[in-house]
Amino acid sequence: MSNKPLVKPLVPRILSALEVPALLAVPVVMVATAAAGLDATAGLTLLVALLAVGLLFASFEASRPPLRQLMPTAVLGATAAAGRVLFAPIPDVKPVSAIAIVAGAALGRRSGFVVGSVAALVSNFFFGQGSWTPWQMYAWGLVGYLGGVLADHGALHRRGVLYAWGFVSALMYGAILNGYYVLGFVRPVTWPAIVAAYAAGAPLDVVHGVATAAFLAAIWKPWGRAIRRVVAKYDLSTR
């Protein structure tokens, strides 16, 4: 008897089981390499971030979403990218985190990750690609992924939790990008240098957090209702 029908379903399950370890590996490796004082810190952490992003995209693809399910994810990713470009004149006021959270809540955590990652990649064709792009893809993808996880547990039904996550998610995004800056450009990596780097970015991170909560207040109900209508109409799987 052929084992192929039994083997194929294992791939999505294995990739799904690796999602959380892959996402956690990035901050763990960042902290570990910085503490160890490795010379190849920037390159090693960038590789881990790239692998995490690749695994999440592979997991999304392995779930074999039909075209009608890919479309809402692609549209939201493009909308988030366009929104980032549109609000470019206002520093750190950008809708990407909010849209990624809505996508994760309405379409599932993997779609939330893809929306955040695609928004970073596509919008950087306008802002400029560089070593920061994979970090932005990882960080905004993580925002959407965790938004989906929180929605799975019903936490985002409470407006206070929703807005709090919007604010905290922006701080998390900033913490990851500040970590990339420290590991890539600060030498030597010392506690005073780390504190100075994070302190310099804190005001902008707070603005990003307030803006994300405000965008969520504006789009959560109408966008979520519209997406859920599409999910119900076409019987889409969101988990």
pLDDT over 90, % of the chain:
59
192-224 residues labelled b (16+ CB within 10 A) or e (exposed): eebeebbeebeeebebbbbbbbbbbeebbeebb
176-196 pLDDT, tens digit per residue, is: 999 988 888 888 878 888 899
Task: Give the residue numbers spanning the domain of 11.
Answer: 4-233
Residue 118 lies in a domain: yes
| In the predicted structure, residue 233 carries a pLDDT above the cut 80 | no
Residue 174 lies in a domain: yes
Provide the CATH number for the domain around residue 214: 1.10.1760
CA distance 194 to 217: 33
Total domains, the chain = 1
Residue 238 lies in a domain: no
| In the predicted structure, residue 6 carries a pLDDT above the cut 80 | no
Residue 46 neighbours by CB distance under 10 Å: 20
Please report which confidence band the pLDDT of residue 105 belongs to, taking 50, 70 and 90 as the band edges: very high
Q: 């936490």: which residue's tokens?
A: 155
Residue 93 neighbours by CB distance under 10 Å: 17
pTM of the model: 0.90
Mean pLDDT of the chain: 88
Detail the DSSP E strand segments found in 139-190: none
Per-residue model confidence (pLDDT) at position 5: 46
Please report which confidence band the pLDDT of residue 2 belongs to, taking 50, 70 and 90 as the band edges: very low
Residue 170 lies in a domain: yes
Q: 């902008």: which residue's tokens?
A: 204
Q: 């209508």: which residue's tokens?
A: 229
